Amino acid sequence: MADLQPPVLSQDALSVAQLELGVNPNALAIRRTFDPVAHELDATFRLTRFADLKGRGCKVPQEVLTKLLEGLQQDDNNGQDEHAHFMHMGLATPRIGIGMDSSVTPLRHGGLSLVQTTDFFYPLVDDPYMMGKIACANVLSDLYALGVTESDNMLMLLAVSTKMTEKERDVVVPLMMRGFKDTALEAGTTVTGGQTVVNPWCTIGGVASTICQPNEYIVPDNAVVGDVLVLTKPLGTQVAVNAHQWLDQPERWNRIKLVVAEDDVRKAYQRAMDSMARLNRIAARLMHKYNAHGATDVTGFGLLGHAQNLSKHQKNEVSFVIHNLPVIAKMAAVAKACGNMFQLLQGHSAENSGGLLICLPREQAAAYCKDIEKQEGYQAWIVGIVEKGNRTARIIDKPRVIEVPAKEKDGELW
């Protein structure tokens, strides 16, 4: 597997790649917008055209996936004897696997567990460097959903589109790899290998692994009646990236131009990129401080899909009810103007590298939200409650939409 080798690039290609990175590649504010012409590419070059599906739109539908995974679940049940063996050794270490954000595998050595996840998706933004950052943040998010804050190692999975010219490949691929690597460094980890192939569609993702003691992760099954649900990033990323692509498609743009201006779409796209590239690491760290009872990250199955999956794994007879939906400004109106094709307010719209949905004790939730805003400069929201029920989740008929940000500020993204 550890065969990830960067393509051989000319010095010109490397110089061109550096154009995009600026002095500090982690600072979105000082980066230029990706300009194909500056790289001697055609002005109409769009990374998102190298796949027919966008981002988390690549996921197999949840109900289909559940059925497909039944065989694996049955095989996993055969591991119960092994699990009993670990318990017999005095290692009360849970095994977490199919259907959860990350797998947790007890090791033979002294109460340690391997926590591991893998993920990849197709391009959803046209800036290759930001696409790399988003892909890496998305992989790590599954660790953060378990309250794990350290990743010991990462691998990168990359597919270069067969439809790319050599010039396009030599510009785009190093930028995607650099974005992925920079976010890994930001997370305190490194990329040590992976796999690179050619494929009709471009893909990028990876594997994140860490070795944990039991107190370093939070098993997501302890929600109790009276808990509240907190969300750490706004919804609407899939709507924003689609709306931005429609700026080049008059027949699509005509459907939404009555409810949103071009500048609004461009700003929503910038906000979506900023949100998707942001790590959920601080959110995970604060889960320990404020005694979280479990969490999941909101990605391809949408807010409701992931809430339902989390509710099914609870030990107690509880259900989740969601009342509030924080959404990137103007994107709820865009979603409605599209004839509800995204089903954003129903919780079915795919998110990309979304926030954590966390079950917190009621008395701790407000302090959690205040603390994360103080540390990160970004809001988190109380979006629902945990009540007695049969391990289901639902969004009320008319949820309150919270526009994010509530007010526009000149020169500020949020």
Question: Does position 244 have pLDDT exceeding 90, yes or no?
Answer: yes
Does residue 62 form part of some domain? no
Report the amino acid identity of residue 32.
Answer: R
CA distance 308 to 348: 11
Domain of residue 150: give its range.
30-52+93-216
CATH number of the domain at 180, please.
3.30.1330.10
CATH number of the domain at 397, please.
3.90.650.10
Binned at pLDDT 50, 70 and 90, residue 7 comes out as: very low
The answer for residues whose C-beta is within 8 angstroms of residue 394's C-beta and 6 or more apart is: 304, 319, 320, 321, 322
Q: At what angle do helices 166-186 and 11-19 cross, to 10 degrees?
A: 50
> Given this model, what pLDDT does residue 52 score?
85
Give the pLDDT confidence of 340-381 residue by residue, as tens digits: 899 999 999 999 999 999 999 999 999 999 999 999 999 999
Mean pLDDT of the chain: 88
Does residue 16 form part of some domain? no
On whether both 194 and 234 belong to a single domain, the answer is: no
CA distance 54 to 75: 32
On whether both 299 and 201 belong to a single domain, the answer is: no
Which among 216, 250, 267 is the end of a domain? 216
Give the pLDDT confidence of 112-168 residue by residue, as tens digits: 999 999 999 899 999 999 999 999 999 999 999 999 999 999 999 999 999 999 999
Residue predicted with more confidence, 390 or 56: 390
CA distance 238 to 250: 19
On whether both 235 and 300 belong to a single domain, the answer is: yes
On whether both 103 and 124 belong to a single domain, the answer is: yes
Neighbours of 389 (CB within 10 A): 17
Does residue 2 form part of some domain? no
Does residue 407 form part of some domain? no
Does residue 57 form part of some domain? no
Split into its structural domains, the chain has a count of 2
CA distance 101 to 306: 10
Does residue 72 form part of some domain? no
Cα distances from 141 to residues 26, 108, 240, 347, 354, in angstroms, run 18, 26, 20, 19, 8
Residue predicted with more confidence, 81 or 211: 211
Give yes or no: 58 in active site.
yes
Binned at pLDDT 50, 70 and 90, residue 76 comes out as: very low
On whether both 129 and 182 belong to a single domain, the answer is: yes
**Backbone φ, ψ for residue 34 (5° rounding):** -60, 125
Query: Which one of 16-20, 94-98, 153-157 scores highest in mean pLDDT?
Result: 153-157
CA distance 182 to 194: 16
On whether both 255 and 373 belong to a single domain, the answer is: yes
Does residue 371 form part of some domain? yes
Quick one: what percent of the chain has pLDDT higher than 90?
A: 76
Query: Whose structure tokens read 């099914």?
Result: 312
Question: Does position 405 have pLDDT exceeding 80, yes or no?
Answer: yes
Does residue 127 form part of some domain? yes
Binned at pLDDT 50, 70 and 90, residue 33 comes out as: confident
* Beta partners for residue 322, in sequence order: 384, 395
On whether both 367 and 244 belong to a single domain, the answer is: yes
What is the value of pTM for the model shown?
A: 0.87
On whether both 289 and 253 belong to a single domain, the answer is: yes
On whether both 147 and 229 belong to a single domain, the answer is: no
On whether both 195 and 212 belong to a single domain, the answer is: yes
Which among 216, 245, 279 is the end of a domain? 216
On whether both 37 and 172 belong to a single domain, the answer is: yes
On whether both 340 and 204 belong to a single domain, the answer is: no
Residue predicted with more confidence, 30 or 108: 108
Which among 193, 216, 239 is the end of a domain? 216
Catalytic residue among 58, 202, 212, 369: 58
